[in-house]
């Protein structure tokens, strides 16, 4: 009887899981394991909101495995010695996993693969979390893409949707005495800031499948227009499920391929797939330019005139007390739910980097700690794009005006009303600029804008222009 270890990481699902499937095809017994070693992902070990999600998702994975006759073995500490201990305890001959692409994880996995092979084990890794490996899409000159549109044109043309691999019905599991209870990983918050999360999210494979089903039946036809309106559920909210691998992008591509029937749905599906394409592009960039999680992709920005780091400014932004309603609504939605609408992410990021002049890394770090979908590739790309230092970045002269953006995309003010309840009594034509209502700020108990939007915009334009001409 041969035994394999399947090392679960951010592929917390049984459907469309190539590592699990290959292990089950080649071995009689399988030990599914989760090894907790956050320090090996430094300096980007999972933040507080991600840890919350991970706890729930591991609980869900264990429950699904138990229905198949196995259970998730949990251990903590350095991964290689932990794997070696498990190999001895189970007499496993092989280890299987699905690949991840963050620089620290690639380095760690490369060492582990080589060490285990030198120990005489079979080691197999697979692509489960991207449509294409980051190195599979290249320009005609065999260089990485830095612009999204040609990247996605090439990738889209090569994409062949396929049905997902079915989940196993039965797993001949193994039980080891020294499994760590999940609670011992300390992933749950010690003070209950997560109350709002439970109402919004259902982490785990079943929750991901439900979100996809709802999106395909209720939202896909309106996606192209509704995706920009933060007061609606016009987007899929699949990002944390994708990040933790509770659903694969191929499952999504296949579902859209099967279910988008009308011309409207097909147009929505095409737009939606291009957002999945942005996810692919982010991974492509981080793989080829691994320094960009900390450094500007565009080196001209190394000499950019950022304002002096200001803890007070930063805290007001973090707490949603900037005095700019749509910015505050976004920051409070983030705090309450661990998620923020994409349009509003762009606005709050632009406000921090352009109006307040703070370095994009301050924002990236706050998002990292507070987003349930915090993803090194997408977060780095999102912040560098908005700050102007990244690939295919917003041109320097495009500085979002949060007031006009609010008036355009939250025209009734419902999004602001929901997250900034002090402003609830204001009319649609007042709510994005409460300082213009006589006595309005005092009546609502809301702060005045922490910065003059026009003056800070002009200052930012001058600094960006200088960098663009350098």
In the complex, the residues that contact ligand FAD under the rule CB under 6 A are 227, 235-239, 242-243, 275-276, 278-279, 282, 342, 345-346, 349, 367, 371, 373-375, 378-379, 381-383, 386
Smallest gap from Cβ 271 to ligand FAD, in A, equals 9
Smallest gap from Cβ 343 to ligand FAD, in A, equals 8
Do residues 193 and 319 make contact, with C-beta atoms less than 8 angstroms apart? no
Distances (CA, A) of 103 to 188, 280, 290, 344: 26, 16, 6, 28
Question: Cβ-count burial of 364 within 10 angstroms (0-12 exposed, 13-18 middle, 19+ buried)?
Answer: buried
Smallest gap from Cβ 238 to ligand FAD, in A, equals 4
**191 Cβ partners below 8 Å, 6+ apart?**
none
DSSP state of 192: -
Nearer to ligand FAD, 13 or 279 (CB): 279
Smallest gap from Cβ 126 to ligand FAD, in A, equals 20
Nearest residue to ligand FAD, by Cβ distance, number only: 382
Nearer to ligand FAD, 176 or 226 (CB): 226
Which residues of 85-244 form beta strands (DSSP E)?
A: 94-98, 122-126
Please state the length of the chain. Answer: 470
DSSP state of 395: P
Nearer to ligand FAD, 99 or 241 (CB): 241
Cβ–Cβ contacts within 10 Å for residue 437, how many? 17
**Number of helical (H) and strand (E) elements in the chain, helices listed first:** 20, 5
Q: What single string gives the DSSP state of each residue in 368-389?
A: HHH-TT--HHHHHHHHHHHHT-
Active site residues: 275, 278, 306, 342, 360, 383
Using DSSP, state whether 88 is helix, strand or coil.
helix
Smallest gap from Cβ 406 to ligand FAD, in A, equals 16
Question: What does the alpha-carbon distance between residue 317 and residue 214 come to, in Å, rounded to a whole number?
Answer: 33
Nearer to ligand FAD, 7 or 367 (CB): 367
Smallest gap from Cβ 190 to ligand FAD, in A, equals 24
Question: What does the alpha-carbon distance between residue 66 and residue 32 come to, in Å, rounded to a whole number?
Answer: 11
Nearer to ligand FAD, 99 or 243 (CB): 243
């Amino acid at each position: 009887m041969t035994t394999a270890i399947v090392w679960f990481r951010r592929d917390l699902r049984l459907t469309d899981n190539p590592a699990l499937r290959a292990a089950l095809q080649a071995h009689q017994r399988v030990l599914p394991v989760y090894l907790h070693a956050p320090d090996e992902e430094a300096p980007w070990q999972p933040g507080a909101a991600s840890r919350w999600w991970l706890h729930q998702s591991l609980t869900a994975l264990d429950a699904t495995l138990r229905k198949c006759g196995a259970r998730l073995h949990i251990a903590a500490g350095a991964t290689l010695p932990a794997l070696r201990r498990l190999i001895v305890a189970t007499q496993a001959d092989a280890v299987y996993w699905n690949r991840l692409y963050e620089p620290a994880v690639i380095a760690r996995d490369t060492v582990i693969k080589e060490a285990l092979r030198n120990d005489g084990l079979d080691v197999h890794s697979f692509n489960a979390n991207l449509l294409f490996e980051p190195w599979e899409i290249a320009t005609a000159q065999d260089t990485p893409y830095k612009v999204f549109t040609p990247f996605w044109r090439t990738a889209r043309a090569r994409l062949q949707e396929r049905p997902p691999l079915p989940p196993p019905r039965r797993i001949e599991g193994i039980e080891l005495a020294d499994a760590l209870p999940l609670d011992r990983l300390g992933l749950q918050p010690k003070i209950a800031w997560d109350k709002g999360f439970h109402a919004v999210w259902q982490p785990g494979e079943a929750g991901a499948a439900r979100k996809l089903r709802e999106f395909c039946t209720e939202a896909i036809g309106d996606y192209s227009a509704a995706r920009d309106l933060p007061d609606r559920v016009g987007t899929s909210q699949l990002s944390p499920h994708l990040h933790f691998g509770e659903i694969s992008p191929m499952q999504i591509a296949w579902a859209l391929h099967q279910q988008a029937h009308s011309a409207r749905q097909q147009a929505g599906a095409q737009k939606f797939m291009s957002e999945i394409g942005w996810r692919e592009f982010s991974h492509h960039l981080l793989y080829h330019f691994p320094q960009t999680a900390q450094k500007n992709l565009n080196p001209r920005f190394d000499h950019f005139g950022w304002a002096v780091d200001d803890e007070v400014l930063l805290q007001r932004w973090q707490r949603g007390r900037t005095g700019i309603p749509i910015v505050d609504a976004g920051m409070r939605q983030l705090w309450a739910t661990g998620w923020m609408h994409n349009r509003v992410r762009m606005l709050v990021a632009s406000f921090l980097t352009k109006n307040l002049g703070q370095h994009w890394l301050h924002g990236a770090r706050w998002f990292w700690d507070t987003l349930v979908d915090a993803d090194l590739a997408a977060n780095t790309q999102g912040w560098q794009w908005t700050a102007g230092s990244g690939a295919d970045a917003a041109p320097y002269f495009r500085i979002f005006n949060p007031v006009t953006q609010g008036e355009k995309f939250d025209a009734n003010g419902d999004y602001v009303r929901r997250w900034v309840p002090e402003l609830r009594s204001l009319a649609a034509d007042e709510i994005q600029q409460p300082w213009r209502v006589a006595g309005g700020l005092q009546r609502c108990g809301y702060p005045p804008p922490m910065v003059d939007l026009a003056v800070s915009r002009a200052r930012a334009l001058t600094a960006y222009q200088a960098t663009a001409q350098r």
